[in-house]
Amino acid sequence: MSSSIRYFTCVVRSILVLTACFSALIFAGSARAQCGVNTVMFSNIGIIPGNAFQAEYVTTSSVNPALADVNGPHSPELLARDNQGRVRIDRSTGKRRLLTGAEAGSEEEQHIITICDPVSQTLTQIDTLNKTAQIRHARPSAPSSSSAKKPVCSRLLLQSNHTHLQVEDLGHRTIEGLDAQGVRITMNPLGAPADGQLSGQSAQERWCSEELAALVLQSTTNSKSETTSSTALTNLERREPDPAMFQIPPDYTVSETVPQPLGNRER
């Protein structure tokens, strides 16, 4: 592997780690949330009935301009929410070479499809390459009135009190024809004072549309490595998606996980 490709790989990995760090610090309390009766959002999309749409999340990254030849495009994430509030995310993980079967030796693109269903209170993960599906049922719980009243964007643009985060209100702007409100979140190096005067800071901008109940733009910048990563919602269509998109193909192998109520765990 050439040194330029190794450098690019390290930079992309650092961008992914940086984004994960932001998410872990901002949304630590919801990291283990399930698609249950109290689920408010899934993968930056609100669980909102009667507000159907289809769109794409397109991610681009910028590193050293000299490495433009290895900055391959990211496959878009395909998004859908139906009028029941079910959310579907379709992510490509790249091409895989088939080793067995009639198509052995050929390459096939693998997609991981995740469906959050607040109606059946299940989280389903579909693997198109291995033709498998796993259904996880939410743990039984009572409905919470407080979670339903809080706007989606107030959660996506959470005003964190974490000592290593500074949050700046960016006001409103129009994105994809939608009014969006934004914040800039600056993450200081661990152990450093949060005075906003540090070199090598990392910052993330998040823009959310309350009308769509979804994140419409997110960008992450590291001033030290001069790297940026941006994920934008594009190709928005305000229409009901095909119901078949939320179904498991009949020839797939299906497994199911049903958690026990907390009070019924064996000791």
> How far is residue 154's CA from residue 152's CA, in Å, rounded to a whole number?
5
Residues of 93-108 as b/e, b for ≥16 C-beta within 10 angstroms?
Answer: eeeeeeeeeeeeeeee
In 3D, which of 224, 177, 186, 222 has the Cα closest to residue 205?
Answer: 186
Confidence band for 187, pLDDT divided at 50, 70 and 90: confident
pLDDT higher than threshold 50 for residue 8: no
pLDDT band, residue 156 (cuts 50/70/90) = confident
Domains of the chain: 3-259 (2.50.20.10)
List the beta bridge partners of residue 185.
167, 204
Q: How confident is the model at residue 151 (pLDDT cuts 50, 70, 90)?
A: confident
What SS3 class is residue 168?
strand
Please name which of 97, 99, 96, 100 lies closest in space to residue 110, comparing C-alpha atoms. Answer: 96
Is pLDDT at 127 greater than 60 in this prediction? yes
DSSP state of 25: H
Lowest mean pLDDT of 126-130, 144-148, 176-180, 230-234, name the range. 144-148
Q: For residue 77, give the nearest of 218, 231, 247, 220 by alpha carbon.
A: 231
Mean pLDDT, range 242-267, rounded to an integer: 82
Shortest CA distance to 56 belongs to which of 70, 73, 39, 75? 75
Give pLDDT tens digits for 18-65: 444 444 433 433 334 578 888 888 989 999 999 999 999 999 887 655
- 182 DSSP β-pair partners: 171, 207
Assigned token pair, 8: 């690019």
d(CA 36, CA 13): 32
Report the amino acid identity of residue 240: E
Using the 8-state DSSP alphabet, how is residue 264 labeled? G
Report d(CA 130, CA 153) in Å as an integer: 36
Q: Which residues, 6 or more positions from 150, have their beta carbon under 8 angstroms from its beta carbon? A: 40
